Chain A
Amino acid sequence: MNPFFLGNSKRRLFGVYHPPRLSRGAERAVVLCPPFGHEYIYSHRSMARLATTLAAAGFHVLRFDYFGTGDSGGEARDVTLAGCRADIDMAIEELLDMSGADRVSLVGLRLGATLAVEVAASDPQRIDRVVLWDPIIEGEEYVAALFEAAATMPIGIEHPHNLPRTPNGEYEICGFPLTDSQRSEIAGVDIMPHLSKLPRRWFTLVTKPLKSHEIFRSALDAEGSPENPRFEQVEDRAAWKEDWPLNAGNVPALAISRIEAWMT
């Protein structure tokens, strides 16, 4: 495992490269696209586990933090979806360079899955496979879920009557700011128009179904085959959600092993 900074002084990203621990013949590489805000914090452990699992299976794996998140440069209020897509592009180029692979696969969790789809659809030639792990299908539904999480997360004290806003006018979502422009950018997300432009091999894994997943699933039924379904639900914990203190540190081992199996 090799942690390092990539990018330039204006847009420095933190990444962790996991070299393959098994030879698979041709080089195969995977970039992991993390979720947003508090979901990034809770899912870090699971994304790290997924990375070591895939590296053990012979993949070059790169995890990274979007600009304004994790150990990367910038502030949380600087995060834009366009910027995140550019960061995924940067991570893809970095991993292609490091691994010697011709193409990379993308595994995205929650909003990371949506971003991965957008990036893959914009340039499918360099993408091998895409895994959508608990993807956000509709931005409006996700924004509503963020506000719901902010109002109900177990924090040991009473929540304020109204969701607080920072002096800059940002909403506070589980400890992270949500600016009006972030809110409107996220609300405009729609994964459906991108699906037809994806590379041939992609797959959706869901642990916590949303209303929009049903619509998504129906739309996919025509595409997948019983032997090679596009959509699968597993009974496992959500990697990105923590109901402290009941499931702190939970890692969804079944979901991770299913992703590994599909990738190999």
Chain B
Amino acid sequence: MNQPQDGNAKPPREQVVLFGAKQSLCGIVTHPTTKTPGIPIVVLNTGIIHRVGHHRMYVTLARRWAAQGHPVVRFDFGGIGDSPVQSDELPPLDANLISIGEVCDWVESNLGLSRFVLIGLCSGADHSVIYAARDPRVAGVVLIDPTIPRTWQFFLRDTLSRLKRPVIYRNILSGRGSTWARIRHLFGGKAPEPRQGEFAQPQLETPEAIAFLEETYQKAVTNGAEMLAVFTGGHSFQHNYRRQLLDALQKVDFGEQLDLHYFKDSDHTFTYLKHRERLFALLDEWLEKKCRTTGEITR
């Protein structure tokens, strides 16, 4: 890997690019400050937050990686940030996968680099791995809080964790809380049915969903993508232990390609600086471990 620049180094050059067939996917290319470019990194939107990312995290990361020699692309999917909707006919996922391909094509034809790392948080992670299953040019994916099925061990840990909360016992004794509300609703009371969970939580525990995810992850691995998966305690309604990915998708043979981490004390978007710094250090270490100066990721 190229040596990072010192603190007084000139900031990397940043370029606005409109990607895609319609030239309307708005993105920023951060060019490396070193002579030999490392592997390009494509950063995907987190949910509906535009390409800057929560806490401007992706701007910081793009400049950090550019100083280490990586060209970095941050762009908005259609309908997010500054990119208009790309297709009225296609579902968002399909349209977004086409958009990722268009960005990768741009990098290949304009920067002359044909292997990429995709990074995404939450829905961005889901997009990353699904795209990697379809394009062998993806040499690596960084999956931060990807959506994975819950397992029996998840439910056991979740229940034990809930039982440790004093509020449970206060609610039982005082007749408050969602369990009592549900009982009152069931027995014909006028009380409305309480909300199920925090929001429309994905239900990925069906055989069909698990089969889809197993096939997706397996194809990405078979295509040669190295994987760094990071889970946080901030999404404890969906995952709550480090090895949940392996337990949930048992048929996937990750071989030596998966690097798995669980940051229990971090929230989903890494609000606190010390959590971001720990994540950034991990990403640097993973990239350094996996990259050669040619920009390829080793296998």
- By a beta-carbon cutoff of 8 Å, the part of chain A in contact with chain B is 1, 3-5, 12, 14, 16, 38, 41, 44-45, 48, 69-71, 73, 76, 153, 155-157, 160, 164, 166, 172, 174-177, 245-246, 248-249
B21 within 8 A of A: no
26 interchain pairs, CB-CB under 8 A: A1-B82, A3-B26, A14-B16, A16-B82, A41-B49, A41-B50, A41-B54, A41-B56, A44-B50, A44-B52, A44-B81, A45-B81, A48-B81, A69-B56, A70-B52, A70-B56, A71-B52, A73-B11, A155-B268, A155-B271, A156-B236, A157-B266, A174-B55, A175-B56, A176-B56, A246-B199
* Chain B, Cβ-Cβ closest to A156: B234
Chain B positions 1-48 with a Cβ under 8 Å from a chain A Cβ: 11, 14, 16, 18, 24, 26, 28, 47-48
* A4 with B272: CB separation less than 8 A: no
Q: How far is the CA of A12 from the CA of B273 in the complex (A)?
A: 25
Sorted nearest first, the 9 A-B pairs with minimum C-beta distance are A175-B55, A156-B234, A155-B267, A245-B199, A249-B48, A175-B271, A157-B267, A3-B16, A166-B273
Return A96 CB to nearest CB of chain B, in Å: 21
* B49 with A157: CB separation less than 8 A: no
Chain B's interface size range is 35 or more
Return A103 CB to nearest CB of chain B, in Å: 26
* Chain A, Cβ-Cβ closest to B201: A245
Q: How far is the CA of A79 from the CA of B51 in the complex (A)?
A: 20
Q: Is the interface of A mostly helix, strand, loop or mixed?
A: loop
How many inter-chain contacts with C-beta < 8 Å in the A-B complex? 89
* A172 with B272: CB separation less than 8 A: yes
- By a beta-carbon cutoff of 8 Å, the part of chain B in contact with chain A is 11, 14, 16, 18, 24, 26, 28, 47-52, 54-57, 59, 81-82, 84, 198-199, 233-236, 265-274
Q: How far is the CA of A43 from the CA of B261 in the complex (A)?
A: 32
**Residue picked from A12, A71, A155, A172, most chain B C-beta under 10 Å:** A71
Other 5 A-B pairs with CB < 8 A, given A155-B268, A156-B267, A175-B55: A14-B28, A48-B82, A155-B234, A174-B271, A245-B198
Q: How far is the CA of A175 from the CA of B55 in the complex (A)?
A: 5
Q: How far is the CA of A14 from the CA of B233 in the complex (A)?
A: 34
Return chain B residues, CB-CB under 8 Å to A175.
54-57, 269-272
Q: Is the interface of B mostly helix, strand, loop or mixed?
A: loop
Return chain A residues, CB-CB under 8 Å to B233.
156-157
Q: How far is the CA of A166 from the CA of B267 in the complex (A)?
A: 17
Q: How far is the CA of A248 from the CA of B233 in the complex (A)?
A: 20
Q: How far is the CA of A254 from the CA of B155 in the complex (A)?
A: 43
Return B129 CB to nearest CB of chain A, in Å: 22
Q: How far is the CA of A175 from the CA of B58 in the complex (A)?
A: 13
Return chain A residues, CB-CB under 8 Å to B234.
155-157
Could you say which of A16, A45, A164 contacts B273, with CB atoms under 8 Å apart? A164
Return B201 CB to nearest CB of chain A, in Å: 10
Could you say which of A12, A16, A38, A44 contacts B14, with CB atoms under 8 Å apart? A12
Q: How far is the CA of A157 from the CA of B51 in the complex (A)?
A: 25
* A71 with B59: CB separation less than 8 A: yes
* Given A5-B14, A155-B234, A38 contacting B55 (CB threshold 8 A): yes
Return chain A residues, CB-CB under 8 Å to B56.
41, 69-70, 76, 175-176
Q: How far is the CA of A166 from the CA of B268 in the complex (A)?
A: 19
Return chain A residues, CB-CB under 8 Å to B84.
1
